[in-house]
Structure 1
Amino acid sequence: MLIFCLCLLQMPRDVVSITTRQHSQDCRCLPDDNCWPTLHDWNTFNRSVNGRLIRIRPVGAVCHGREYNAALCAIAQNSTHDSLWRIEKPGALQSVTWETRPYRNRSCFIDTPRAIPCDQGRIPVYGVLAQTAQDIQEAVRFASFHNLHVAIRNTGHDGIGRSSGVGSFQINVNLLKEIQFMQEFVPQGGDKSEGSAVTIGAGVLGLEALAAGREHGVNMVTGTCSTVAASGGFLQGGGLGFLGPAYGIASDNALEFHVVTAKGDLVIANEYQNKDLFWALRGGGGGTFGVVVNTTIRTFPDVPAIHFLLTADLPRHPTRTSDADQAIWDITTELTNLLPVLKHKDNKTSAIIVPRFLEDRAVLEAHVLFVNTSDKDPVEKHLNMLHSALEAKGLSPAYKSELTRYPNLSAWLNIPRQMTGAAYGLIEGSVLISEDLFFSHNGTSHIMDVLSNLEYIVGDSVEILMSVGGQVKANKYTVDSALLPSWREAGLLLTIRRTLPTTSLTQIMVNSQMPMVRALQVPPLGSYYNVADIELPDSRRAFWGENYARLYSIKQVWDPDGLFIVRMAVGSEDWDDEGICRV
């Protein structure tokens, strides 16, 4: 294999400047420090990973300054909102918020004038495109020896900057595409089968896992967005998906992990060995306890299903935007009010309702999924209640709907869907709503009264997810994991997302709606770590509740020097916000 010379990879000393940090072993080595690896060090490391070391530049670099390339810039501008294109680019994330350092005005946007300098921002300086566990081991040992700021990146779906870092070294796992199905899986060290399962590499996307599963006649719990990886941070953070009520949250279905630890060892974690690590990886948060190489998860038979789709797309009149918005909220409210009835009828039912507010229109997309059923009649009976209520309000012309029977659930699961846009600024937050509130008299009406009266700006969206209850609740008695215990008592997850154009990132960075949404649930039930509000108070209790003390202890065992530190994660309170210096 050709090993290339890194003499062209030397970064200028002013790539990163953290002038207030300490220069000691309590801080990571950054490119402007004397402790930063030499070119000889990088070249030696490159040989150890078979030439898979890369220098990383922001994807917008080809549109600026001396790096300008008209053809490549055109490709970047035409592809920037393509989630799959961004996954393939080590210098890109799905949300540009964490590619940049907006408070320091350090960015490299694709669509800004060519003359504006391109700054590295939070994009890692170097990275390794890992293709084997050995690549990851070498990268971890190199980062540990040189005291580097590590950023583990998979698909770049993250709302609080856990996939990037100032002056960091990227361990990119997106090329780990192993998929192996087993009819009877016995965890290593065990003596009994866990049934049918699949081992998936860390880089396998949800859409890739589901497509492979369809060929084998099985399904698995993946994310609502099909370009999110099925393993990695999604699953380690809990993993909410359409099949949660039928089969449990994603972390409930993890049977075994192959993990590279902070010491560079490759270990197996399951119910029989390294049980503390296994417990932590199921819900304790991604990028914190090690680098997951692959995960073995349960699979389920490809059963029939019924799917209800409702959409609305209403123009917003320049002087009467409230007309379209009100119609969207009225439809959303009627559909949300129906959810408790549908849940009582069949606790496997899941739903996601997403109103969005764009500059020229207000839109609504809603899915209700009924798993392991072919009988449309009971569903139609309840949906007729919805249609009657909307007709009484004069809203029938404002929306379209369809009810579809699928002989195989996989046919619907394999329809690609991207629930959030790529290449925009993103701030978000989430709140768990208890079953007590969800099922209470006028409970959903109260929820909708609060949501519909919040102040929204162009680009805002709301997600009402009924992807809990059912088996998620039942697993309270059979699954022991780090997952926030109150997930077992939840009826809904409410998510607020603010999508901003790149030019607005420095203007609005706080999601002001979240305090009012959190006030819905008293006492608080908690929040979803994978959809985190950076302003969330007492965040570790909100993410992990009573499990946090145990998680922190496990962190000290497996990563005592804090090599894997990401924002708002277990152990991150011992470091500054960037994960560079101990506090």
Structure 2
Amino acid sequence: MAIRGVAFVCLASLISAQQINSAHGVIPATSGTVTPAAAVVAAKGNFAWESVQLTQSVLTNLTNLNLTNIALFKYPTSTAASTSQCKVFPGDADWPGPVTWEILNILSGDALIKTVPLAAPCFTSWPEYNATECAIITSSWSDPHLHVANPTSAQWPLYEGLTCVPPSLRSEATNCTIGGYAAYSINVTNVAQIQLALNFARNLNLRLVVRNTGHDFADKSVGAGSLSLWTRNLDSLEFYKDYTYGSYSGPAFVMGAGVETADVYLLAEQNNVTAVGGECRTVGIAGGYIAGGGHSPMSSLKGMAADQVLFMKVVLPSGEFVTASATENPDLFWALRGGGGSTFGVVTSVVVMAYPKIPVTTMTFSYSISSTISADTFWNGLGVYMKYFPTFPDAGSYGYFNIAPNAAGNLTFTFDPFWGANMTKIQTQALVAPYLSDLAKLGIAVTPVYTEYQSLYPAWNASFPPEVVGGWTNHAGSRLFPRENFVNATLLNETLAVVRHAIEGGAILVGYNIKSAVNPHANQNNSVNPAWRETLTHFILPGLWDADATFAQIQNVSETLTNDWLARWRAVSPGAGSYFAEGDINEPDFQQSFYGSYYPQLLAMKKEFDPWDLFYAPTAVGSEYWYITGQIPYIPTQNGRLCRKT
């Protein structure tokens, strides 16, 4: 372990029953007799809470006091993984008892939270039952902030297992269990707590998950019987007008892992700069967003969010706290920017570049199949748009649109919006004029609404309202179609045909006309899926069912999505890929689709940095060696024991 200097050491003791056993006898376990196991380690570039660490000196002091169970919190002395086939699960003989959990709670500064599902107040079987509280939870269930503020709740709970949702929202919700949610969480407010939890989980062979805001289509931040690191409250955010690091000198943001998109965009607006961030408000930028690459309304101008990172602070599976940058741990720096979350460590903070303030012009319009627009004409309209897929992002724009049924049962195409980054209204109108003319020639008359903004923040705030979450009525997959699919007329027609097949089969389309721009000022030497560097689209394809659908019905739609609709998409774009954070959890050969040619290198690094197999998440690097017990095919929930494949 490369542990650096200690300013002071806080002594801590371990308890037996409700008392502390030490060389000095047995005394009551109270806040006055037990202190968190942490020390302040001075280091340049840390937030204050990053300097609160679990040092070897703290552990040595605990050992010297002859405290019991100290081995549970020690750093590893070998790279040998547990030989057990499965992670320890509640009810097992090796599952920690209440006293052991209380030890972790005391040493972490009373940060341990035993899971009570968010909707538990709706069920009389829980002590938390409260009809008034249940009504509040139910009415707010689709609000992402409700779930972000909860240590375990998922914003899209399908793959948790739907074990505790408000019964008025789902008729089959007659009971509430913890299901796929973590057994316990640590409310992380400093690095020492992360180190304690990693050592604890590794030494006891517990399943570990990392949850930030919970914004994840596949619920990868939940896991039955797990200890969860809840990093949402690492929300420190600072802006520097003149930040120097390596060869970079300019504006930058320093942000903790829990900072959300909305926070960054607002601070950027207040300081007259532009940030590369997400579309949705509760995306944790420094967490899974950058870890997965991070597409943005700014991507066609500046590249992926992962490209903007100057350096990162991270706690490794060993418990060591390190910096990752182009010059310090460069291999880790490469992997953390695009190689997926819950794989190489727990990122605590990142530093990212900012850019000058730019104008944005948006355009919105819609058209539908009707008595004047036939189905063929409607789809020819999408084909016309696809012909401009190279032109628009090459100019820096970002097209966000959807195709979905309307109230009359017909399909509607909606621009929501076309995003002209760094464009005035006049420039945007000139860019789209040929496209609108071609639509008119088909007989599709639209009335575009243009809105010019002085900067990104008001454009984003007006264009992307708070996301609606909490639902379980769809299962989404995605595809990154490359440029060749739109410059080659034959491939364009084939791509249009397979998109039409899926939508007419019952799916909806959420489309992005986007590219990852070459940015000479950014560090694009990272593990972002190579498919992003070739793509002109990110197409998300949700398959749909009713809120009260049975698991058999959900299974049927999910299987159709994977083996029919998306299979056709893969066939017309061989060698392309899919976006890890918004992809099909059943994606065949996910290694190639989500990581491309980088997967062998990422897997080798996973084995190097995490030989103990501490970190796991569905479709993450190395996840192919594990499975969850008791699964329904095509509905791979996290409601089961995590075991090794034999």
Measured against the shorter chain, the TM-score band is 0.7 to 0.9
The correspondence for 1:552, drawn from 594, 603, 613, is 603
Partner of 1:210: 265
1:259 alignment partner AA? V
Which of the two has higher C-alpha Rg? 2
| Cα distance in 2 between the residues matched to 1:516 and 1:312 | 26
CA contact under 8 A between 2:209 and 2:228: conserved in structure 1?
yes
What secondary structure, in the 3-state scheme, does the structure 2 residue paired with 1:513 have?
A: helix
Partner of 2:325: 270
| Cα distance in 1 between the residues matched to 2:345 and 2:288 | 11
Name the CA shift for 1:544/1:436 in 2 (closer, same or farther; >3 Å). same
**Matched length:** 543
Partner of 1:154: 212
TM-score (norm 2): 0.78
The correspondence for 2:428, drawn from 355, 358, 379, is 379
| Cα distance in 2 between the residues matched to 1:258 and 1:436 | 38
Q: Structure 1 residue 75 and structure 2 residue 136: aligned?
A: yes
Partner of 2:101: 42
Partner of 1:484: 529
CA contact under 8 A between 1:224 and 1:419: conserved in structure 2?
no
Partner of 1:16: none
TM-fit CA distance, 1:124: 1.0
Q: Structure 1 residue 423 and structure 2 residue 467: aligned?
A: no
Q: Structure 1 residue 293 and structure 2 residue 329: aligned?
A: no
The correspondence for 1:352, drawn from 385, 400, 406, is 400
1:547-581, Cα deviation, whole Å (9 max, x unpaired): 11211121122111111111111111222245722
Partner of 2:624: 573
CA contact under 8 A between 2:304 and 2:516: conserved in structure 1?
no
| Cα distance in 2 between the residues matched to 1:228 and 1:360 | 33
CA contact under 8 A between 1:232 and 1:286: conserved in structure 2?
yes
TM-fit CA distance, 1:252: 0.9
Name the CA shift for 1:60/1:416 in 2 (closer, same or farther; >3 Å). farther
CA contact under 8 A between 2:626 and 2:643: conserved in structure 1?
yes
Partner of 1:513: 565
Worse-matched range after superposition: 23-32 or 569-578: 23-32
TM-fit CA distance, 1:171: 0.8
Name the CA shift for 1:381/1:227 in 2 (closer, same or farther; >3 Å). same
Partner of 1:31: 90
| Cα distance in 2 between the residues matched to 1:3 and 1:401 | 64
Partner of 1:124: 182
Name the CA shift for 1:311/1:91 in 2 (closer, same or farther; >3 Å). farther
1:131-168, Cα deviation, whole Å (9 max, x unpaired): 22222222222222222111111111222231111211
Partner of 1:413: 460
What secondary structure, in the 3-state scheme, does the structure 1 residue paired with 2:481 have?
A: strand
Q: Structure 1 residue 464 and structure 2 residue 503: aligned?
A: no
TM-fit CA distance, 1:450: 2.3
Name the CA shift for 1:381/1:442 in 2 (closer, same or farther; >3 Å). farther
Partner of 1:142: 200
Question: Sequence identity of aligned pairs in percent?
Answer: 26
| Cα distance in 1 between the residues matched to 2:196 and 2:374 | 56
CA contact under 8 A between 1:184 and 1:193: conserved in structure 2?
no
CA contact under 8 A between 2:498 and 2:565: conserved in structure 1?
no
1:461 alignment partner AA? I
What secondary structure, in the 3-state scheme, does the structure 2 residue paired with 1:554 have?
A: helix
1:409 alignment partner AA? L
TM-fit CA distance, 1:325: 7.3
Name the CA shift for 1:455/1:438 in 2 (closer, same or farther; >3 Å). closer
Name the CA shift for 1:408/1:145 in 2 (closer, same or farther; >3 Å). same
Partner of 2:486: 438
Worse-matched range after superposition: 137-146 or 495-504: 495-504
Partner of 1:84: 145
Partner of 2:27: none
Name the CA shift for 1:469/1:570 in 2 (closer, same or farther; >3 Å). closer
Name the CA shift for 1:535/1:112 in 2 (closer, same or farther; >3 Å). closer
Q: Structure 1 residue 450 and structure 2 residue 495: aligned?
A: no
CA contact under 8 A between 1:207 and 1:416: conserved in structure 2?
no
CA contact under 8 A between 1:200 and 1:295: conserved in structure 2?
yes
2:518 alignment partner AA? Q
TM-fit CA distance, 1:331: 5.0
Name the CA shift for 1:54/1:232 in 2 (closer, same or farther; >3 Å). same
| Cα distance in 1 between the residues matched to 2:306 and 2:459 | 22
CA contact under 8 A between 2:393 and 2:514: conserved in structure 1?
no
| Cα distance in 2 between the residues matched to 1:241 and 1:437 | 22
Name the CA shift for 1:411/1:120 in 2 (closer, same or farther; >3 Å). same
1:440 alignment partner AA? N
What secondary structure, in the 3-state scheme, does the structure 2 residue paired with 1:164 have?
A: coil
Partner of 1:20: none
The correspondence for 2:159, drawn from 95, 98, 101, is 98
2:282 alignment partner AA? T
1:514-546, Cα deviation, whole Å (9 max, x unpaired): 11121221x321111112212222111222222
| Cα distance in 2 between the residues matched to 1:248 and 1:469 | 4
1:60-112, Cα deviation, whole Å (9 max, x unpaired): 222123223111110111000111212112232111212216xxxx5544434
What secondary structure, in the 3-state scheme, does the structure 1 residue paired with 2:554 have?
A: coil
1:479 alignment partner AA? Q
| Cα distance in 1 between the residues matched to 2:98 and 2:266 | 43
TM-fit CA distance, 1:224: 2.1
* RMSD after superposition: 2.9
1:91 alignment partner AA? T
What secondary structure, in the 3-state scheme, does the structure 2 residue paired with 1:184 have?
A: strand
CA contact under 8 A between 2:308 and 2:352: conserved in structure 1?
yes
Structure 2 unpaired stretches of 5+: 1-29, 33-81, 629-637
TM-fit CA distance, 1:244: 0.6
Query: Where do 1:525-544 residues align within 5 Å?
Result: 525-544=576-595
Worse-matched range after superposition: 505-514 or 299-308: 505-514
Partner of 1:251: 306
| Cα distance in 1 between the residues matched to 2:119 and 2:229 | 21
CA contact under 8 A between 2:387 and 2:486: conserved in structure 1?
no
| Cα distance in 1 between the residues matched to 2:161 and 2:116 | 12
Name the CA shift for 1:118/1:181 in 2 (closer, same or farther; >3 Å). same
Q: Structure 1 residue 65 and structure 2 residue 65: aligned?
A: no
TM-fit CA distance, 1:452: 1.8
CA contact under 8 A between 1:53 and 1:128: conserved in structure 2?
yes
| Cα distance in 2 between the residues matched to 1:161 and 1:564 | 15
CA contact under 8 A between 2:152 and 2:185: conserved in structure 1?
no
Name the CA shift for 1:357/1:457 in 2 (closer, same or farther; >3 Å). farther
TM-score (norm 1): 0.85
1:20-67, Cα deviation, whole Å (9 max, x unpaired): xxx963321111111111111111111122222111122222212322
| Cα distance in 2 between the residues matched to 1:338 and 1:71 | 53
| Cα distance in 1 between the residues matched to 2:340 and 2:327 | 21
TM-fit CA distance, 1:441: 3.3
| Cα distance in 1 between the residues matched to 2:623 and 2:438 | 49
| Cα distance in 1 between the residues matched to 2:225 and 2:210 | 13
What secondary structure, in the 3-state scheme, does the structure 1 residue paired with 2:578 have?
A: coil
What secondary structure, in the 3-state scheme, does the structure 1 residue paired with 2:349 have?
A: strand
Name the CA shift for 1:467/1:115 in 2 (closer, same or farther; >3 Å). closer
Name the CA shift for 1:194/1:463 in 2 (closer, same or farther; >3 Å). farther
CA contact under 8 A between 1:154 and 1:229: conserved in structure 2?
yes
CA contact under 8 A between 1:235 and 1:250: conserved in structure 2?
yes
Name the CA shift for 1:279/1:395 in 2 (closer, same or farther; >3 Å). same
CA contact under 8 A between 1:565 and 1:571: conserved in structure 2?
yes
| Cα distance in 2 between the residues matched to 1:571 and 1:113 | 37
TM-fit CA distance, 1:389: 4.1
1:199-222, Cα deviation, whole Å (9 max, x unpaired): 111111111111111111112111
Partner of 1:494: 539
Structure 1 unpaired stretches of 5+: 5-22
Partner of 1:14: none
